[in-house]
Structure 1
């Protein structure tokens, strides 16, 4: 019986195969199509139209070129007392020129201000590396984007300032950028490197800082760059198991590459906020030290000077600032220039220092500290265009997802992993949440 059943099955299969082979393909296709429900061509009215989000009732004015003179000429001379010395590292026993890495994703005016402030404060421009993290491939390099595009970056003006540009292969999150810095440090043989946020304004201690440096023009005066070299020399020779040196928290940071390697780098599953809490806590859990140091005035800002010639101490320019993404007119404040008393170098510097303080305070007051990131609303039709609203909202979503990863990773919600818990490096992804 079993052999009979097998013979019957084999016969049926053979008949089906022969039928398929001799049947024209169009007949098979028609039979299959009969099984597919027809498209509702006549009933397209049942598909609802998109429901659009309301448009913002207030849009900031177009962004202005923050340094128009740079489009047609070279930058003015750097203040003589801050003139950079590219070989200064040898004085401190450092065998290479330590780089300063600054990543750019969006808001060109804010980045340009940071670069100009570093250069005029005495940092050698050839040791500054701008990481083009826009994700627009060669569009900026080829001049295909315009000023109102959030991803706009002016290669020509940066090169006039003498700084380097490295194009990141893809758009990266903050944590990914940090790991990319470490990658670059191996590519360029930088065992130690500096990195800075782009939303900063930097000044050297030109009026002196007791116990750190005398004022500009006096014997022993040191710029922000030289004080950073001193701190690097001190750290290397300290005998410590040191990881970082913070200058105004991590707004300007010195990194020991070996420390980052030891803890496995930054956690890229926590892409933005809380990733610093995770990284610096893991470093401390593995007994790497982190100390604060003084090198200059490093102000966390979301506004820009009205005229960048003030950095070059142009006596015709009174320092004042503006918000590249101002609030509604009824809420906006006017940031008038300071009263003009003197064109003396120190007096002018002190005006800049006061303005920098006002700019820092403005960022901390009232509105979201990251409003500077959404001041450019143009770019439609340009290469790699992405709606500015989408950029901001997508980063918010990723940020919150990263916070949730942090909470699950440590079973703790806050940044105080060291002081507020007894967790160790081995406790990652092993503990239940400690809150209700």
Structure 2
């Protein structure tokens, strides 16, 4: 599923390179010659980082490269432009340009909830992800921190964006056919996705289950203590983990 996400992003028409942060325990992605041949830039992390740490690394790379903003996508995301003549990237770039003109203090622009988002580098340099919220609620914590620091959280529609829970054959060269495949998966994919997630969780070792449960509990309890609430404020009304 990871490779089909990379393929989808490569066909989306981005002006800059598609960069993959290889956070796998054995850095398997860095050894994948097919990714390198496709033009993907693979960067290895120094160790196995938690979610918040990984986001800070991405922001640091963007700062070092002098970027104004960058797009960040979940590993299972597939995208398609709004029509046959407009790529997803072109539509997303236009969204950024419009918000730049009307609300220049934006920090994040969400596309399809937070499955793909534009990150303003100045905002990410100003507000770091809290590594004491390592997993669940890490995103909510970051969004709340941006808001109280004066950065705007916005939403924009640049076309179709779905989370793939299985391998899909998407004919990107035929927009109508590709849209039909993604729409059908979006209708059926939520239940399938929960089933797959449950199966993966059940397959973990007893030690891994305990460690994961502790990380989840720590993240949620710390977030609740820090903000005195459990809500996650998203501009389009969706929680990051909420099914559409």
In the superposition, the TM-score normalised over structure 1's length comes to 0.49
Structure 1 residues 405 and 180, CA gap change in structure 2 (3 angstroms):
same
Displacement after TM superposition at 1:368 (Å): 2.4
Over residues 162-209 of structure 1, what are the superposed CA-to-partner deviations in whole Å (9 max), with x where a residue is unaligned?
A: 211001111111111111111111222223111100111111123xxx
**What's the counterpart of residue 8 of structure 2?**
117
Query: Does 2:4 match 1:127?
Result: no
**What's the counterpart of residue 216 of structure 2?**
399
Indicate the SS of the match to 2:194: coil
Displacement after TM superposition at 1:414 (Å): 3.1
Query: Does 2:152 match 1:289?
Result: yes
> How much is the aligned-residue C-alpha RMSD, in angstroms?
2.8
Contact 2:19 2:41 in 1 (8 A): yes
**What's the counterpart of residue 113 of structure 2?**
249
Match of 1:195 among 68, 72, 83: 72
More helix by share: 2
Over residues 198-226 of structure 1, what are the superposed CA-to-partner deviations in whole Å (9 max), with x where a residue is unaligned?
A: 111111123xxxxxxxxx2xxxx321111
Q: Aligned pair count?
A: 234
Query: Does 2:233 match 1:413?
Result: no
| Greater Rg by CA | 1
CA distance in 2, matches of 1:406, 1:285: 15
Structure 1 residues 369 and 185, CA gap change in structure 2 (3 angstroms):
farther
CA distance in 2, matches of 1:163, 1:373: 31
Structure 1 residues 224 and 350, CA gap change in structure 2 (3 angstroms):
same
CA distance in 2, matches of 1:168, 1:401: 24
CA distance in 1, matches of 2:93, 2:112: 16
- Please list, as runs of the form range in 1=range in 2, the aligned pairs for 1:64-213 lying within 5 A after superposition: 110-123=1-14, 127-136=17-26, 141=30, 155-206=32-83
Over residues 285-338 of structure 1, what are the superposed CA-to-partner deviations in whole Å (9 max), with x where a residue is unaligned?
A: 233211111212111221221xx4x4354xxxxxxxxxxxxxxxxxxxxxxxxx
Displacement after TM superposition at 1:156 (Å): 0.8
CA distance in 2, matches of 1:300, 1:412: 28
CA distance in 1, matches of 2:120, 2:58: 12
Contact 1:191 1:256 in 2 (8 A): yes
Structure 1 residues 246 and 167, CA gap change in structure 2 (3 angstroms):
same
Contact 1:121 1:204 in 2 (8 A): yes
Query: Does 2:192 match 1:302?
Result: no
Query: Does 2:160 match 1:353?
Result: no
Displacement after TM superposition at 1:127 (Å): 1.0
In the superposition, the TM-score normalised over structure 2's length comes to 0.83
Match of 1:374 among 200, 204, 216: 200
Displacement after TM superposition at 1:394 (Å): 3.0
Larger RCO: Structure 1 or Structure 2 (Cα < 8 Å, ≥ 6 residues apart)? 2
Structure 1 residues 417 and 228, CA gap change in structure 2 (3 angstroms):
closer
Indicate the SS of the match to 1:127: coil
**What's the counterpart of residue 240 of structure 2?**
none
Indicate the SS of the match to 1:365: helix
Contact 1:135 1:168 in 2 (8 A): no
Indicate the SS of the match to 2:114: helix
